[in-house]
Amino acid sequence: MCNFLRHMFKTKTRADATDPTPSISNRTTRRTPPSSSTTSTSTSTATTSYGATDSARATSSAATSTSASSHSSLASLRSSLPENSHIYSFSEISSATNNFLSKPISSSTWRCTLRSKPTAVVQRRLRRPLDSTQLRFLLSSISRTHHTSIIKLLGACISGDFIYLVYDFASGATLSTALRNPQNPSFTLLPSWLSRMQIATDLSQGLEYIHHSSGENIIHNHIKSSAIIVSDPSLNARICHFGASLLTGETPEASSSSSSSSTLQRSDSRASRVEGTRGYMSPEFLTAGIISQKSDVYAFGVVILELFSGEEPLKYRFDGRRGDYERISLIETARDALERNEDGMLRRWMDRRMKDSFPAEVAEKMIRLALDCVHVEADKRPDISRVAGKVSKLYLDSRVWAERMKIPTEISVSLAAR
């Protein structure tokens, strides 16, 4: 069953890659009218075959209809193909952002309009020299990817020691804000179990696409809750910063002919060690600066634990008795909750804002899967394809549970990232 679901979702993802526009029904029902030359040809054929049988006239009409349909399908396919990435000039970026003074999303990200498209411009420091030829080659590889759980990279610009990455603008809140609103700690955008399972499914499918289906064995290297957008109003997850680590030189270039996606690679740049975020960095990255796709799997596991607990990956709490700060790891508290689950510890560990309404068996399997992803040894972490298949099955189990419990499921209607 799991293998069938994985095959089904992989097929769906690949279909999205070549046919990403949402209005599928419009494409299948709309027909392009024949051009004037086609009409003339049809008239001529009708004249010369005057007196032919009804069957012959029907055959001619069907051929004309099929030709028009083929032209319509080709036009639709052409319009749905991902557009090539652009190399922008610095003056164009500077003008669009009002010299980097307008609509800052963060200290290094600006919202603006470039070439009539709403975009987000992200500034990153280059970790290795990159000329225009190399930039064009890398952009051409990245632009072949198209998945609705990944925010699309539109292009880039190099100026001095910095690269400016231009992404589609995605409306919504970051996952970290959706889980922990500093102005209202009791509020969350994801109050139900199904809404959080949808996020987990979208993330696993998107990361699987990055690792395998994109045609390149790419390492994302920035999987974290603050780099995931929860879209409004569908509450689907979209991964930010795709391609950033490759373009900036944080990760080595990956080849599609690589023998194993789990082969560890050492970053050439010592500065890249600080590019990770506290709590999401794998042990091998922290100790030796070694990164791989299994580092992404580790970060994904942390995000899943964060998703269902609502807590930060690492916290420091002052211990009055010792007069010192106590380090609290989300991974350690999750392991402890599973070991003591016979006392109902796991249920108490889960985010209380879900109002204790979730399938206990499915929740336990999800937390065990997340802990498999954060195994201290990289080789013992599962491949993301296996993880995505399991998450998809558990999502289906969650919908069955919700229907049995008469819980409305309109908030989440898909089986995977679209």
Compute the average pLDDT of residues 378-387. Answer: 97
Q: In this structure, are residues 34 and 72 in contact, taking their beta carbons and an 8 Å threshold?
A: no
- Total number of domains in the chain: 1
Q: Does the pLDDT at position 91 exceed 80?
A: yes
Could you tell me the pTM of the whole model? Answer: 0.74
Instruction: Report CA 201 to chain centroid distance, whole Å.
Output: 10
- Mean pLDDT in the chain? 78
Please report the pLDDT score of residue 357 as a whole number. 94
Respond yes or no on whether the N-terminal peptide bond of residue 129 is cis (omega within 30° of 0): no
Q: Would 342 be classed as within a structural domain?
A: yes
Q: Does the pLDDT at position 299 exceed 50?
A: yes
Q: Would 161 be classed as within a structural domain?
A: no
Compute the average pLDDT of residues 209-227. Answer: 87
* Distance between CA atoms of residues 300 and 331, nearest Å: 12
Q: Does the pLDDT at position 74 exceed 70?
A: no
Number of continuous H segments (helices) and E segments (strands) in the chain: 15, 13
Compute the average pLDDT of residues 120-132. Answer: 91
Please report the pLDDT score of residue 66 as a whole number. 46
* Distance between CA atoms of residues 380 and 409, nearest Å: 35
From 309, 361, 357, 356, select the one nearest 335 (Cα to Cα).
Answer: 309
Q: Would 181 be classed as within a structural domain?
A: yes
Higher pLDDT among residues 373 and 103, named by residue: 373
Q: Does the pLDDT at position 311 exceed 80?
A: yes
> What phi and psi values does residue 109 have, to the nearest 5 degrees?
-135, 135
Q: Would 384 be classed as within a structural domain?
A: yes
The type of residue at 111 is R
Compute the average pLDDT of residues 144-151. Answer: 88
**Structural domain span for residue 194:** 1-10+170-412
Selection from 16-25, 39-48, 269-278, 347-356 with the highest mean pLDDT: 347-356
Q: Would 268 be classed as within a structural domain?
A: yes
Q: Would 330 be classed as within a structural domain?
A: yes
Q: Would 278 be classed as within a structural domain?
A: yes
* Cross-strand partners of 165: 122, 156
Instruction: Report CA 24 to chain centroid distance, whole Å.
Output: 21
Q: Would 58 be classed as within a structural domain?
A: no
Q: Where are the alpha helices (DSSP H) in 193-250?
A: 193-208, 244-248
Query: What CATH number is associated with residue 313?
Result: 1.10.510.10
Please report the pLDDT score of residue 60 as a whole number. 47
Q: What percent of the chain has pLDDT over 70?
A: 70
Residue 51 Ramachandran class (φ > 0 left, ψ -120 to 50 alpha, else beta) = left
Instruction: Report CA 121 to chain centroid distance, whole Å.
Output: 18
Q: In this structure, are residues 337 and 307 in contact, taking their beta carbons and an 8 Å threshold?
A: no
Please report the pLDDT score of residue 276 as a whole number. 62
**How many other CB atoms are there within 10 angstroms of residue 383's CB atom?**
17
Q: In this structure, are residues 217 and 226 in contact, taking their beta carbons and an 8 Å threshold?
A: no
pLDDT tier for residue 253 given thresholds of 50, 70 and 90 = low
